[in-house]
Copies of this chain bind each other. A is one copy, B any other.
Amino acid sequence: MAYAVTLEALRVLEAIHQLGSFAAAAEALFKVPSALTYTVKKLEDDLGVALFDRSRQKAVLTPAGHLVLEQGRAILAAAVRLEDSIKQFESGWEPKLRIARDTVLLESPLMSVVGDFLSQNRPVELTLSEEAVGGGWDALQDDRADLVIGATGELPKGNVHIRAIGEIEFVFAVSPTHPLALTDGPITAAQLRQYPAIVVADSSKILPARSSGIFESRQVLRVDTMRSKIQAQCLGLGVGYLPKHRIVDELSAGRLVLRQCELPRPNQMAYLAWRKDEPGLGLSWFVEQLAVQDWRLCHSR
């Protein structure tokens, strides 16, 4: 089974067409004209079709020649892409990257960084997901994510690399229509207990779920994301602490009001975390960029 087409023959055809003559093409390819004559003739013989009309001094492509030229272009382009792919692959860029954002963080700073990465056109497939409470560490442990942004609380066991990105300050805020909005001094535990507590559920799948922001309440409303919790509290459905950087707009628009609370809620450090000892270029790039991104936290690095 003999094959007629070679990539070199397709390149020769392209060069002759582009430069207008065998002589010019030979010069550009650092060959002598008779080498091109040999290559084209071999292709013609093997395909069984004339690719050039040679009735004039300058050889002119036949319709069949044009057909080979057009389809040959796509093939040559694919061959270049293959060689480029291998270079990229060997260059250290990983084919896939899974990034998990803790729900306590704003989405837009992450998207901004993702946009920068996408505009670099790397052959890296990105997957973004959202985790809550201990879910970030869990996703790392469970190999559901390569990189976690915004993980809080105790560091998990095992070899994990971290970068602190800032402190999350929690404030007690309620809807202005909520009865507790009328309280003058610090709200007591007894007062809190009378209203449903709104809680973001831990998204962990393997590690034990963690309680976050739960105080004794007659009722608990669990939601998936911080965004949902903010909305529920704006609607006056319940009470709870909220990360201050997430409710700047709601406070200034009067949809939420700050109140003092007897039960303290200390700040939490938020981390960037990953497990790979030798991260690929993609992971390294994201770690660097996300570490210096403005997440609008306190004491940001």
B75→A78 contact, CB < 8 A: yes
User: Complex formed: what's the CA distance from A171 to B74 in Å?
Assistant: 56
- Stoichiometry, as copies per complex, reads 2
Number of A positions contacting B (CB below 8 A): 27
Bits for A1-17, please: 1 = Cβ < 8 Å to B, else 0.
00111111001000000
A86→B67 contact, CB < 8 A: yes
A72: which B residues are within 8 A, CB to CB? 82
**A90 at interface, CB cutoff 8 A:** yes
CB distance from A217 to the nearest CB of B (A): 53
B67→A89 contact, CB < 8 A: yes
> Within residues 272 to 290 of chain A, which ones have a CB less than 8 A from any CB in chain B?
none
**A60 at interface, CB cutoff 8 A:** no
**A79 at interface, CB cutoff 8 A:** yes
**A68 at interface, CB cutoff 8 A:** yes
User: Complex formed: what's the CA distance from A48 to B84 in Å?
Assistant: 12
Residue of B nearest to A5 (CB): B79
Instruction: Given A5-B7, A6-B7, A48-B90, check contact A75 B68 (CB 8 Å).
Output: no
User: Complex formed: what's the CA distance from A83 to B48 in Å?
Assistant: 10
**A47 at interface, CB cutoff 8 A:** yes
A5→B68 contact, CB < 8 A: no
The 7 closest A-B pairs by CB, nearest first: A71-B82, A75-B78, A5-B79, A49-B90, A47-B86, A67-B89, A64-B89
